[in-house]
């Protein structure tokens, strides 16, 4: 029986070199990826000892040592006198990032909606005098102009190293048809146009320092989360904008990163009373025709499902803060960061599985719809769509767990 010929020593050296090059280009950190890299190098070492001459083996061993050194200790730039502007520091990711960067020695310009908010008072109390609080409402051009002027005036000696577009806005969780057009506009004003205007205004400083732009996005901008149409479309728009900046600013040495966090327990997520008020406001302003077609129970069901999904949120915000810090200081920052549990599985399902399975997964993970009132059995002219009968995640009535 004919045997498959073994590759020559030179071929094995080429394979090993390609594997090491791929490792050098990757963004692996200590953990399972590094263990996999060690296993690969061990297998290559075993093969090389049998197939390569001593000189080639020495070269490969040196290359492997360099690769593993870079994997285990990612290169970080010194903080020195670097200055960073962070938006949305009243709470959540922005506040925690401002605290960490201040403790590391950064000069932090932290914007807040209200200078006397609890988050602003906390930052003023626990941070160093280097941290400066700036009032900023991204929907007001006057506020943006004032922040731009302050930043230019107070970074003349240090320069501006980084901009962290963290401020975000979402005020409704409902189907796109049920969401007022004003909600789409308000989300775009903060999440897209505000970030666009602030970023463009600071680009001269960032180009001069060959600095960093870090923007907090959302997986809802990459995949169709149920009931997050207004928020998701604004996050999709800002992600595409940052990808455009990344390409256009490459000759200037400015690096652009997007953080796509999972579900974390920020202050806005924990504020159940706020979400209840927003639901009541939605019901009060819903056109009568839509209220009759969908029914109050439908909206109550969505609200209950949304609150259920928030119970799965992570309380530790450090993965997002660490991702922002790495994007600011890594010698070779990633284009995308995905801090949070289960995101790898979510993106795998979104990109590689059929559309029906993707939809069912998002419904099971986030919000599983029930049938609107007009489509429920017994209603005049009700004809449930064919997909409803085939979809096991679509209930025929409101969830029994929803309080009425």
- Asked about 231 being catalytic, the answer comes back as yes
pLDDT in tens, 102-128: 999 999 999 999 999 999 999 999 999
pLDDT in tens, 191-236: 999 999 999 999 999 999 999 999 999 999 999 999 999 999 999 9
In the numeric block, which tokens belong to residue 389?
């009968």
Distance CA 258, CA 242 (A): 7
Residues 83-263+314-337: name the CATH superfamily: NAD(P)-binding Rossmann-like Domain (3.40.50.720)
Summarize the confidence of residues 1-7 as an average pLDDT: 45
User: What is 213-252 written as a DSSP string?
Assistant: EEEE--GGGTS--TTBHHHHHHHHHHHHHHHHHHHHTGGG
Global confidence as pTM: 0.77
Domain extents in the chain: 42-72, 83-263+314-337
Q: Which of 2-6, 18-22, 60-64, 280-284 has the highest mean pLDDT?
A: 280-284
Closest alpha carbon to 370 in 306, 294, 259, 313: 294
Q: Residues 225, 231, 337, 338: which is the catalytic one?
A: 231
Edge-to-edge strand list for the sheet holding 212-216: 132-135, 107-112, 83-86, 162-165, 212-216, 255-259, 336-337
Summarize the confidence of residues 373-388 as an average pLDDT: 69
pLDDT in tens, 121-180: 999 999 999 999 999 999 999 999 999 999 999 999 899 999 999 999 998 999 999 999
């Amino acid at each position: 029986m004919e045997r498959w010929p073994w590759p020559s020593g030179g071929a094995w050296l080429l394979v090993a070199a390609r594997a090491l090059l791929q490792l050098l280009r990757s963004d692996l950190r200590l953990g399972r990826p590094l263990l996999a890299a060690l296993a690969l190098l061990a297998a290559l070492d075993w093969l090389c000892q049998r197939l390569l001459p001593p000189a080639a083996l020495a070269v490969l061993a040196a290359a492997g040592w360099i690769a593993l050194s870079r994997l285990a200790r990612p290169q970080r730039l010194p903080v020195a006198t670097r200055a960073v502007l962070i938006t949305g520091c009243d709470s959540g990711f922005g506040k925690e990032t401002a605290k960490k960067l201040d403790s590391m020695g950064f000069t932090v310009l932290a914007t807040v909606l209200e200078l006397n908010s609890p988050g602003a008072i906390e930052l003023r109390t626990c941070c160093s005098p280097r941290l400066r609080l700036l009032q900023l409402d991204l929907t007001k051009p006057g506020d943006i102009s004032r922040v731009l002027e302050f930043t230019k005036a107070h970074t003349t000696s240090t320069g501006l190293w980084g901009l962290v577009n963290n401020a975000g806005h979402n005020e409704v969780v409902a189907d796109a048809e049920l969401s007022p057009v004003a909600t789409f506009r308000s989300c775009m004003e903060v999440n897209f146009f505000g970030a666009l205007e602030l970023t463009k205004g600071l680009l001269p400083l960032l180009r001069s320092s060959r600095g960093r732009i870090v923007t907090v996005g959302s997986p809802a901008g990459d995949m169709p989360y149920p009931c997050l149409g207004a928020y998701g479309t604004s996050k999709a728009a800002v992600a595409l904008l940052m990808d455009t900046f990344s390409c256009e600013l490459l000759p200037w040495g400015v690096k652009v990163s997007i953080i796509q966090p999972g579900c974390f327990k920020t202050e806005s997520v924990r504020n159940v009373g706020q979400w209840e008020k927003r639901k009541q406001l939605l019901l009060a302003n819903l056109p009568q025709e839509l209220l009759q077609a969908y029914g109050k129970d439908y909206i109550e069901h969505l609200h209950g499902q949304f609150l259920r999904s928030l119970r799965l949120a992570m309380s530790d915000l450090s993965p997002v803060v660490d991702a922002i810090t790495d994007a600011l200081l890594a010698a070779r920052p990633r284009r995308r960061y995905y801090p949070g549990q289960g995101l790898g599985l979510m993106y795998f399902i979104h990109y590689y599985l059929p559309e029906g399975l993707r939809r069912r997964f998002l419904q099971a993970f986030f919000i599983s719809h029930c049938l609107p009132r007009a489509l429920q059995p017994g209603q005049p002219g009700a004809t449930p769509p064919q997909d409803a009968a085939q979809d096991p995640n679509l209930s025929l009535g409101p969830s029994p767990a929803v309080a009425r």
